[in-house]
Amino acid sequence: MNPGKILLVEDNPDDVTLTMRALKSHNITNDVIVAQDGVEAIDYLFGTTGRPAPTDLPAVVLLDLKLPKVNGMEVLQRIRSDERTRLLPVVILTSSDEERDVIDGYSLGANSYVRKPVDFVEFTKAAQQLGLYWLLMNRAPPSPRGP
Amino acid sequence: MRDWPIKRKLTAIFLLISGLVLVLTSAAFVTYQVVTFRQTMRSNLATRAQILAANSTAALAFANEADAREILSALKYDPHMVAAALYDRDGRVLATYPVAASADLIPAAPQPDGYRFEGARLVGFTPVAQGANQRLGTLYIASDTKAVSDALRLSGIIAIVVLAIALLAAYALAAALQGRISAPILALAETATAASTRQDYSLRAPKFGEDELGTLTDAFNQMLGRIEEQKQELQQHATRLEQRVAERTEELEHRNEALRRNAAELLAANNELDAFAYSVSHDLRAPLRSIDGFSQVLLEDYATQLGDAGRDSLQRVRAASQRMATLIDDLLKLARVTRAEMRTERVDLSGMARDIVVDIQRTTPDRQVEFAIAPGLEAQGDSRLLRVVLDNLLRNGWKYTGKQPQPRVEFAAVDENGGRVFVVRDNGAGFDMRYADKLFGVFQRLHSAAEFEGTGVGLATVRRIITRHGGRIWAEGAVDKGATFYFTL
């Protein structure tokens, strides 16, 4: 079973460290690819002039909303508008639970919306559950390019 | 005649009357003249006849034809004498004048004495007598009436001339005098027409005297004056009204402008608050997560090196950061309450309260609090915001009865002054009425966090929601005697 990778789109290095720690401490050993802003995330998923797009899509994208350059909503929009990434599971993982963001996120086709708890114990629990669920329990959509 | 101008009517009436009077007078004059003249003529003829008769006595007494002819021939000096004859006692003609008078001029026999007009002639028979009683014969005399007709013609001419002059004078007088009557009427008519066509009520009809027309003119002018006054009053009213409308309009425009500015400012402020809240929601929590997260990392990875004091300090750091996160969340809720769009509908407050109670009891099964929710309480408002109100008040009741052996929280309503007042009452810690006004301020707390936890934002949020509903909230209480919150919607 190849559980796939996690694309973590997060600009805050502390949050990256803490998220990685939370995932690792619960033996979710998958590769975590970190994109530090929206542009990096898009570049990774769709490729740039220097580097082609990856053949395998990540199993899930953990997407922060407030990002420099291109924000999370724009990344989500881009993912949903491309035939190849249209069905890619995207979980919004962010600080705010502003109703506006929740509605916009789901409207743009987010699969889930999780607010990062301040309490690190809670945060670790959330990360663990997310990892387990999306990597192990969830049945990913078939790859658009075939097996 | 009916449609003639009044001037012509008056002149015509004058002329008609004076003409009639003149014609009657002239007729009387001519008649008198004729009658008088005929009488004079008759008496003159009679006198002449008596003179002739007196002179003829000798000729008749002696039947002297020549003498008789001689005497009669004297008549030739009067051109009006047409014929004459002397009859003897037996009625035979003795002599005639002219000598060879035709038979139709001289009657064959004498007729009764006296004078009369026969056709165009005046004829008369006079006795010729000697002394008082001895009649010798009869004198016949005939004169034409040319003198009468001449006199009649003259009188007629005079009458016609006088009539003409008099009528001319009457016309001139009428033309001059009718003005006395017609001028005021015409002036009135002119003024009335001008006033009605030009709507100019400042006009006045000229007054010509103190007669009835003068009175009419005065009355008319007074009427115009009153109309003018009323018109002016109306205009003043209209002007005042227009002014007031203009003033009000301007005032309204100012107010509208102010309102627009206020609305724009409010919108800007709201947008700023929106941006601020959004930023707070995202950015303020991230460092707290780092503080809490890395404290936990230290606690997990370096527990032995830290020792008890170090671990305790880190736990405090974690507690503080979590508490700050709660504060931020509560503040954001308060901001949201201010910004949220209101959707007014019928809200079942009793049902809502029961839901909240179920939730409280589910999450804290270890505490037994008696909740008494009155059934059928309803209100008009935004259900989500009203849920925040009830949630805060009921949870407050639950929280502050924490040290009460028989905790009880009640939700009910009373009707007061025609309005409905909702009541949330508990038998908990209560508060000192001296600080009642501080209850609803942001971050204002009457209990320490150690006694009862809380951020001091809940009641501020509740009051903001009630205010947005156009309602009022107040509280009564005493230390350790419970608290009662009243609100209207």
To the nearest whole Å, the CA of B288 is away from the closest chain A CA by 6
Asked whether the beta carbons of residue B278 and residue A120 sit closer than 8 angstroms, the reply is no
User: What confidence score (pLDDT) does residue A79 get?
Assistant: 94
Position A56 scores a pLDDT of: 83
**Residue ranges of the domains in chain A?**
6-137
Which pLDDT does position A29 carry in this prediction? 64
Contacts of B283 in chain A (CB under 8 A): 66, 95
In this predicted structure, what is the pLDDT of residue B376? Answer: 92
Q: Provide the residue type at B9 as one letter.
A: K
Give the closest-approach CA distance of A138 to chain B in angstroms: 28
Interface probe for A, chosen from B284, B285, B314 (most Cβ of A below 10 Å), is B285
User: A116, B277: Cβ pair inside 8 Å?
Assistant: no
How many Cα atoms occupy the beta-carbon half-sphere of B178 within 13 Å? 17
Q: Distance between CA A76 and CA A88 in Å, rounded? A: 10
CATH label, B342-487, candidates 3.30.565.10, 3.10.580.10, 3.40.50.1000, 3.40.920.10 = 3.30.565.10
Q: Which residues contact B356 (CB under 8 A, 6 or more apart)?
A: B387, B390, B391, B394, B395
* pLDDT more than 90, % of chain B: 28
Q: What number is the average pLDDT over the span A37-62? A: 86
Region B377-388 average pLDDT: 92
Contact B278/A98, CB-based, under 8 Å? yes
Q: Is A9 helix (H, G, I), strand (E, B) or coil?
A: strand
pLDDT confidence band for B90 (50 / 70 / 90): confident
Contact A120 B296 (CB under 8 A): yes
Confidence band of B199 (pLDDT split at 50, 70, 90): confident
Measured CA to CA, the distance from residue B223 to residue B229 in angstroms comes to 10
**Interface residues on A facing B, Cβ-Cβ cutoff 8 A:** 12, 14-15, 18, 21, 65-66, 94-100, 116-121, 123-124
User: What residues of A are in contact with residue B318 (Cβ under 8 Å)?
Assistant: 119-120
Which pLDDT score, from 0 to 100, does residue A3 have? 59
Question: What is the average per-residue pLDDT within B95-120?
Answer: 84
Mean pLDDT of B446-453: 77
Is pLDDT at B22 greater than 70 in this prediction? yes
Can you say whether the dihedral through the CA atoms of B440, B441, B447, B450 is positive or negative? positive
pLDDT of residue A60: 92
Whether B342-487 and B6-169 are alike in CATH topology: the answer is no
SS3 annotation, B24-46: HHHHHHHHHHHHHHHHHHHHHHH
Nearest CA in chain B to A100: B278
Two structure tokens written together for B294: 């890395």
Cβ neighbours for B223, distance < 8 A, ≥ 6 positions apart: none
**Residues of chain B with a CB closer than 8 angstroms to some CB in chain A:** 277-278, 281-283, 285-286, 288-290, 292-297, 318, 321-322, 325, 336
Identify from B274, B284, B296, B326 which residue to disrupt to test chain A contact, counting A C-beta atoms within 10 A and taking the largest count.
Answer: B296
Structure confidence by residue, pLDDT tens digits, A8-35: 999 999 999 998 888 887 667 677 889 9
Instruction: Tell if the CB–CB gap between A98 and B295 is shorter than 8 Å.
Output: no
Whether the CB-CB separation of B429 and B400 falls below 8 Å is answered with yes
Confidence band, pLDDT 50/70/90 cuts, at residue A4: confident
Supply the pLDDT for residue A147. 38
Q: Check whether B471 has a pLDDT greater than 50.
A: yes
Burial class (CB in 10 A: 0-12, 13-18, 19+), B83: buried
Is residue B78's pLDDT more than 90?
no
Q: Tell which CATH architecture fits domain A6-137.
A: 3-Layer(aba) Sandwich (3.40)
CB B56, CB B88: distance < 8 Å: no
Residues of chain A with pLDDT > 70, as a percent, come to 91
What's residue B7's pLDDT?
A: 83
The alpha-helical segments, DSSP class H, found in chain A are: 13-24, 38-46, 72-81, 99-107, 120-131
- pLDDT above 50: residue A141: yes
Domain spans, chain B:
6-169, 229-339, 342-487
Report d(CA B477, CA B480) in Å as an integer: 9
B352-375: average pLDDT: 92
pLDDT score of B475: 92
B376 or B447, which is more confident: B376
Q: Model ipTM?
A: 0.84
Using alpha carbons, select from B366, B372, B328 the residue that is nearest to residue B353: B372
Q: Are strands B408-416 and B419-426 parallel, antiparallel or unpaired?
A: antiparallel
Choose the closest CB to B293 out of A94, A96, A120: A120
Please report, in angstroms and rounded to a whole number, the separation of the first and last CA atoms in chain B.
88
Q: What proportion of chain B, given as a percentage, has pLDDT over 70? A: 100
Mean pLDDT across chain B, nearest whole number?
87
C-beta separation of A76 from A108 below 8 A: yes
Distance CA B93, CA B91 (A): 6
Task: Give per-residue pLDDT as tens, B297-318.
Answer: 999 999 889 889 999 999 999 9
Structure tokens at B225: 């004056």
Most confident by average pLDDT, B4-13, B156-165, B327-336, B386-395: B386-395
Specify whether the CB–CB gap between A6 and A135 falls below 8 A.
yes
d(CA B278, CA B284): 10
Whether B68 shows a pLDDT value over 80: the answer reads yes
Q: Are A21 and A128 in contact (CB under 8 A)?
A: no
d(CA A124, CA A132): 12
The pLDDT value given to residue B110: 87
**Could you give the C-alpha distances from B304 to B299, B314, B341, in angstroms and in order?**
9, 13, 53
Q: Is the preceding omega at residue A3 within 30 degrees of 0, hence cis?
A: no
Task: Find the mean pLDDT for residues B3-20.
Answer: 86
pLDDT tens digits, B247-283: 999 999 999 888 888 888 888 887 887 788 777 777 8
Cα–Cα distance measured from residue B50 to residue B479, given in angstroms and rounded to the nearest whole number: 169
Q: For residues A3 and A133, give the distance between their C-alpha atoms in angstroms, rounded to a whole number.
A: 11
pLDDT for A144 = 64
Cα separation, A33 vs B171, whole angstroms: 133
Residues 6+ apart with CB under 8 A from B76: B97, B98
- HEC string of chain B? CCCCCHHHHHHHHHHHHHHHHHHHHHHHHHHHHHHHHHHHHHHHHHHHHHHHHHHHHHHHHCCCHHHHHHHHHHHHHCCCEEEEEEECCCCCEEEEECCCCCCCCCCCCCCCCEEEEECCEEEEEEEEEECCCEEEEEEEEEEECHHHHHHHHHHHHHHHHHHHHHHHHHHHHHHHHHHHHHHHHHHHHHHHHHHHHHCCCCCCCCCCCCCHHHHHHHHHHHHHHHHHHHHHHHHHHHHHHHHHHHHHHHHHHHHHHHHHHHHHHHHHHHHHHHHHHHHHHHHHHHHHHHHHHHHHHHHHHCHHHHHHHHHHHHHHHHHHHHHHHHHHHHHHHHHHHHHCCCCEEEEEHHHHHHHHHHHHHHHCCCCCCEEEECCCCEEEEEHHHHHHHHHHHHHHHHHHCCCCCCCEEEEEEEEECCEEEEEEEECCCCCCHHHHHHCCCCCCCCCCCCCCCCCCCHHHHHHHHHHHCCCCEEEEECCCCCEEEEECC
Provide the pLDDT for residue A26: 67
pLDDT at A74: 93
Q: CA B428 to CA B433: how far, in whole Å? A: 15
Q: Average the pLDDT over A86-108 and give the result.
A: 91
Mean pLDDT of B456-481: 90
The reported pLDDT for the residue numbered B297 is 92
Contacts of B70 (CB under 8 A, 6+ apart): B59
Going from the C-alpha of A94 to that of each of A78, A111, B250, B291, the distances in angstroms are: 18, 14, 52, 17
Q: Above 80 in pLDDT, residue A82?
A: yes
Contact by Cβ (8 Å): A37, A71: no
Looking at domain B6-169, what is its CATH homologous superfamily?
PAS domain (3.30.450.20)
CA B82 to CA B262: how far, in whole Å?
135
Residues of A in contact with B286 (CB under 8 A): 12, 14-15, 95
